[in-house]
Amino acid sequence: MLNFLKNIGSGITSGLTNLNNYASNFKDLGGLIGGAGALYSAYQKQRNAKKELALQKEAFNFNKMLAQRDIDRQNKADDDLYQAFRNSSYYRGA
């Protein structure tokens, strides 16, 4: 009976040793998968940054157009006011 238990213990020990050797073959696999994940994450961040930059450019151009429209409106109002004054009797000195 003692030999039987010894054989079971040595079988378990050799099985664990074999499992450890098998696992050591794949110990760098986690680093490889982690590196691939980091590269993919960096790629996604770059794509999102490009999209964000495009949106910011679009918003800038829209705000620039609105500001120019307001400047044009003010200039037209000033020109109309000046023209109305020139057509009035105050301008002619009456």
pLDDT the model gives residue 58: 98
pLDDT the model gives residue 63: 98
pLDDT the model gives residue 26: 63
Distance, in Å, from the CA atom of 47 to the CA atom of 53, rounded to the nearest integer, reads 10
pTM of the predicted structure, to 2 decimals: 0.54
Two tokens at 21?
Answer: 């050797």
For every one of its 94 residues, what pLDDT tens digit does the chain have, with 9 covering 90 and above?
A: 556 555 556 665 666 566 566 656 566 667 778 888 899 999 999 999 999 999 999 999 999 999 999 999 999 999 999 999 998 887 776 5
Residue keyed to tokens 């074999």: 18
